[in-house]
Chain A
């Protein structure tokens, strides 16, 4: 305990984190790369929240995870070929989304197991390609960890602009198809009967999911995208059943996780991905515990009323 306190003490002294919150915040935004990190992080959080909300609702978490991981070979391949990593991220994720979308989503159990086998194969093969690219490029182990586990240090102004444009496009498309997509998700059969292009919606959504995964992985790394996609939505959908409220709550959670994660990571030596996932997990656990406690309390109150 004393050891930890001493380490923490050194640590705080080294980075200059104090009790004056205003001073800390000034320090946080003193450097340009940190401002860029916050700009990019906020956009990514809004996007991940909105897309992740639909992903959890549609039970496509496995597909989302796979698309997230595909960003790693995309970036590794782009670096190997000498083009910008950003283009690699988007190309790989959208291509993988199309491959997964090629497999129809069937209603039967047999078909579902087929779909997951396809997704698993796509995921493993994509990662294997990433290994190949890294090996062909030869030795960039440090940036390998960055690709996998995230880094917020090197976000350039141009990257921020690209992120903003893609985020706006994806959000606009999502706004356009949001209503029919919600309908198709909640009751696919009725939506189809009413003449909605359910299959087309599913493909468009997967492509949007791919774009979102490519965006997020530039902040959190390929392995941890999933945290920002799934955790806020899982927490919010557990709290409320009303779609609009839970969508807003999801985006709020995502922004909170990113802001806190970036701030803590700035004052610490450990990777941002660890803080982002831990804060997300804490929110998830808090919502579950809080909700169960409320339900239990209400039930007890109800029993008491009945008893009286």
Chain B
């Protein structure tokens, strides 16, 4: 592979000459921005488990659509948005209902197993298995031009919605009681936010796959929350880390064809999180906890 040659710029130009990589970068960047921003609030609102559940719903939705013989994305978006609304209606804040959420999505996964079998047995040939695997683990290099453009547009719409809602949503997430007293519609925000998580899950499934999108939500946001205590700073930092993960991950996957892009992306995101943990731990041990630090964590 000549692209890992002496001059990195020639390498990047080489890389972007392939249309499939241009589409991957286009869709990937938009999806990373959306996942980074949404992920920040997912972690802030302690709804990582909900995000986990939604990612598995995405899997079953897509497989159901495949088994029914319709466009995969219909099932993907339909299932994610419906389940997001149901979860918001059930009121999933707090951990009391974790067992119920867990049971429900274990069952939904069981349905996914059923649909996968129906799909693979009804379509003869090997394409069934490959598509099923793509739903599980993503196929960002397989995006066509129109798919990439649509994914990018949807992801940008999510980014814009988050940017508009950011301030009241932060308020409603950090202190729901006070926000409610001040007239912020906390419950409506909970609904809107989970629907956004659902859309992000659906769009990210096409990039990194249903099983891995949780990493794109949790790892950049976790790293950002460690590195910055300012809400909006951490929010944008999270988006930046997610974008960086996608860019570096795609480049690694291109340079080393044996490595699946989903793994490369997740590996970079995890490395960022580990780096953030090590950096903050070193900083904390270097200077003893101050009064300000104690105030920050009562």
Contacts and interface: CB of A to CB of B under 8 A. Distances in A.
Interface of A: 56, 59, 61-62, 64-65, 69, 108-114, 116-121, 123-125, 127-129, 131-132, 135-136, 141-142, 144-145, 148-150, 221, 223-224, 226-227, 230-231, 233-234, 237, 269-271, 273-278, 280-281, 284
B258 A123 contact: no
Most buried by B among A62, A131, A150, A223: A131
**Residues of B in contact with A, size category:** 35 or more
B52 A131 contact: no
Contacts of B214: 120, 123-124
Nearest to A149: B113
Contacts of B270: 121, 124-125, 128
Interface of B: 43-44, 46, 48-49, 51-52, 56, 95, 98-104, 106-107, 109-114, 116-118, 120-121, 126, 129-130, 132-133, 136-137, 209, 211-219, 221-222, 225-226, 258-260, 262-263, 265-267, 269-270, 273, 297-298
A112 B218 CA distance: 13
B49 A62 contact: yes
Contact of B109 (A116, A123, A223): A223
A265 to B, nearest CB: 11
For the complex, would chain B's binding face be called helix, strand, loop or mixed by DSSP majority? helix
B46 A277 contact: no
B298 A124 contact: no
Nearest to B113: A149
B51 A113 contact: no
Most buried by A among B111, B130, B222, B297: B222
Contacts of A111: 297
B259 A132 contact: yes
Given A135-B258, A149-B116, A62 B107 contact: no
B103 A284 contact: yes
Contact of B266 (A124, A145, A148, A280): A124
A110 B258 CA distance: 40
B222 A120 contact: yes
Contacts, number: 194
Given A62-B98, A124-B266, A131 B106 contact: no
Given A117-B48, A145-B132, A127 B113 contact: no
Contacts of B260: 131-132, 135
Given A116-B48, A120-B51, A144-B133, A277 B110 contact: yes
Contact of A141 (B133, B213, B263): B133
A238 to B, nearest CB: 9
Contacts of B102: 61, 64-65, 226, 230, 234
Contacts of A230: 99, 102-103, 106
B130 A62 contact: no
Nearest to B105: A226
B12 to A, nearest CB: 24
A302 to B, nearest CB: 26
Contacts of A281: 103-104, 106-107, 110
Given A271-B114, A274-B110, 18 more contacts: A59-B95, A110-B297, A113-B44, A114-B225, A117-B222, A124-B270, A131-B260, A141-B130, A227-B106, A227-B109, A230-B103, A270-B117, A270-B118, A271-B113, A277-B107, A278-B111, A280-B106, A284-B103
Contacts of B267: 125, 128
5 contacts: A65-B102, A128-B267, A234-B100, A269-B121, A281-B106
A65 B263 contact: no
B107 A234 contact: no
A141 B130 CA distance: 8
A109 B46 contact: yes
A15 to B, nearest CB: 15
Given A131-B260, A271-B117, A112 B103 contact: no
Contacts of A150: 113
A234 B101 CA distance: 10
Contacts of B129: 141-142, 145
Contacts of A114: 222, 225-226
Contact of A231 (B103, B112, B219): B103
Contacts of A125: 215, 219, 266-267, 269-270
Contact of A116 (B46, B56, B100, B117): B46
A271 B115 CA distance: 10
Contacts of A132: 259-260, 263
A275 B114 CA distance: 9
